[in-house]
Amino acid sequence: MSLPLPWSARRAICLSVSSILATAKSTAFAYPTSTFSADTRTRGLAVMTHRASRNDNVGGAGITLNPVGGPAQSSIIWMHGLGDSGEGWAGAFDPKVFPTTRMIFPTAPTRPITLNGGFPMPGWFDINGLDESSPEDRAGFEEAKQRIARIVQGEVEAGVPADKIVLGGFSQGGAVTLHLALRSEVRLGGAVILSGWLPLKADYPAALTEVGKAMPYFHG
């Protein structure tokens, strides 16, 4: 479970993500070594105003930031945590660090969360409890997996090679990232999991695909 993070924490996470992706031994991305400046939050909001579309690039809720210099050569699909939104993360990623990358921040559907007394909030799946014996929302995980897979397919159809698409997420979004990546039949560029966990772990190793096994993973 997670609640929206303070802006300073988001910035620190995004700096870490940019460093991970910039130094990854993968052909998926090639980034400059520039870092975020002190006024990045203001610039991020301006970017949203002038370069953003308010959807997940396949018609669902979220925010998509398109590269300034032309067609996207790579893509990042980033999933937020419980109670947050794609918009809450979009301003935290500086397009100048990802100049040829389309950044997609889907927003999860609003649903009752059992752990929170049934209070409705954006969530990729329901959470029944925090201990390991609590039943997991298998249907919710599958729904989230299918939605993100549609976004991936949309990027491929738009001309971005699958191995230049990186998935990432925080907390609930990290769990969805790992769930999709380990079961993927498509070789993606990698997966970044922050404060996430392995859902439906009893399914493994049977659910692990050869592609999922070979994919680069970054966890923190």
List the Cα angle 10/155/160 in 5-degree steps. 100
Domain count within the chain: 1
**Looking at residue 219, what is its pLDDT?**
86
Would 188 be classed as within a structural domain?
Answer: yes
Answer whether residue 138 is part of any domain.
yes
Residue 30 maps to a domain: no
pLDDT tens per residue, range 90-132: 877 777 777 888 999 999 999 999 999 999 999 999 999 888 8
**177 touches 193 (CB < 8 A):** yes
75: left (phi over 0), alpha (psi -120 to 50) or beta: beta
Cα angle 51, 55, 61 (rounded to 5 degrees) comes to 145
- Asked whether residue 2 is assigned to any structural domain, the reply reads no
Residue 103 tokens read as 């950044």
CATH number, domain containing residue 211 = 3.40.50.1820
Q: What is the pLDDT of residues 55-100, one digit of tens each?
A: 888 889 999 988 877 788 999 999 999 999 998 888 777 777 778 8
Question: Could you give the 3-state DSSP secondary structure of residue 3?
Answer: coil
Of 8-12, 23-27, 62-66, the range with the lowest mean pLDDT is 23-27
Residue 74's beta-bridge partner residues?
A: 101
For residue 168, give its domain range. Answer: 7-24+35-219
In a domain, 156, yes or no: yes
